[in-house]
Structure 1
Amino acid sequence: MRARIYKEVFFEATHRLIHYRGKCFRLHGHQWRVEVWIEGTADERTGIVLDYNCIKEVVGRFDHQVILNEDDPMAACIETFHPVITTRGDPTSETLADLIADMIDAEAARQESDARVAKIRVWESTSCYAERTYDRQ
C-alpha cells in the first residue's frame, strides 16, 4: 500500500551567503524548521513507510553546525575550531532543501525502502521558506 507521511524537525545552525549583498553576507544563525512529506510503500509487517526517527536523525546532522559554501574562505578558518558542513553554492533555504531531501532519500534506500521525499519545506525564519517538490517514483 502506498502512503504519504509527514515530519517536522527543527535545528539551530549558522550560515552565510557569500554571493549575496546584504545582511545575510555576514555569518548569522537561525532556528531552521524542516517539513518533509515522504511517499512510499508501507512495510507489510509494520505498516511503516519510513521511521520518523530516520528523518529526525538526518535533519539532526545539521543541528548546531556551521553551514558554508564550499568556496567560502571562512570555511577553512572555522574548520580548525569546529566542523563545517559545506554546500555547492551558497547554503540558502533552497540549497538546504535539496541537500536534506537527497540525504533522506539516500538513507531510505540504504534501509532498502522505496520511500522518497515528495515535498520539503525549509524555513529559515517564521515568515520565509523554500519549498521543493519531487517526482521520484
Structure 2
Amino acid sequence: MKLRVSKIFDFETAHALWGYDGKCANIHGHTYVLTVTISGDLIDDKDHPKYGMIIDFGDIKTIVKKEIVDVYDHCLLIRKNTPHEKYADVETAFKKVWCTEFQPTCENMLIDMVERLQKALPDNIELKYVKLQETRSSYAEWFAGDN
C-alpha cells in the first residue's frame, strides 16, 4: 500500500531581490516554514524494525537538515550578478553569504530545494509535494503531479 508522509521544518534566511521595485530590494529576513511530503511503499517485513513505515521520520529529518536547513539557515542570499560595489562589504563581513545563480525569490528557492531533495532521497522514496512558506500568508508550492 502506498501512503504519503510529511514533515515540517523551519529556518531563518535573509535575502535581497536585486532590481526589484519594492521593499524586498533591501536585505531582509524571514522565518521560512518548509513542508516536505514523500510517498513510498510501506515496509511490510514484520521482522524489520521499521515495519509499517515508508521511511523513518528521523531519516527525512537528516536528509532535509543536510540538504536544505544547513544550507539556508541563517544565510544571506544575494543574486550573483548583483552589483558588487553595493554589497562588497556584506560578502566579506559575514560568514554565511550565498551568491546564488538565481534571484532568491521564494519560488526560486523552492525549485533549488526540490532539486536537492530529489537527488538526496532514497530511490524507493518519491518526492510528492514541497511547500515553502515565506510568511504566514505567502508561500510557493511544488507538486510532483504538475511536473
The TM tier, using the shorter chain, reads 0.7 to 0.9
- Higher mean displacement: 73-82 or 95-104: 73-82
1:79 alignment counterpart: 91
Q: Secondary structure at the match of 1:67?
A: strand
**Structure 1 residue 83: Cα displacement:** 2.6
Whether the 8 Å CA contact 2:74–2:96 is kept in 1: the answer is no
Q: How does 1:117-128 map onto structure 2 within 5 Å?
A: 117-128=127-138
1:49 alignment counterpart: 55
**Structure 1 residue 31: Cα displacement:** 0.6
TM-score, length of structure 2 as denominator length = 0.77
Report the identity percentage: 27
TM-score, length of structure 1 as denominator length = 0.82
Q: 2:145 and 2:65 mapped to 1: Cα distance?
A: 22
Whether the 8 Å CA contact 1:7–1:55 is kept in 2: the answer is no
Q: 2:7 and 2:83 mapped to 1: Cα distance?
A: 35
| Structure 2 unmatched ranges of 5 or more | none
Whether the 8 Å CA contact 1:93–1:122 is kept in 2: the answer is yes
Whether the 8 Å CA contact 2:35–2:131 is kept in 1: the answer is yes
Q: CA RMSD in A?
A: 2.4
Considering fraction of residues, name the structure with more helix: 2
| Structure 1 unmatched ranges of 5 or more | none
Asked if 1:104 corresponds to 2:117, the answer is: yes
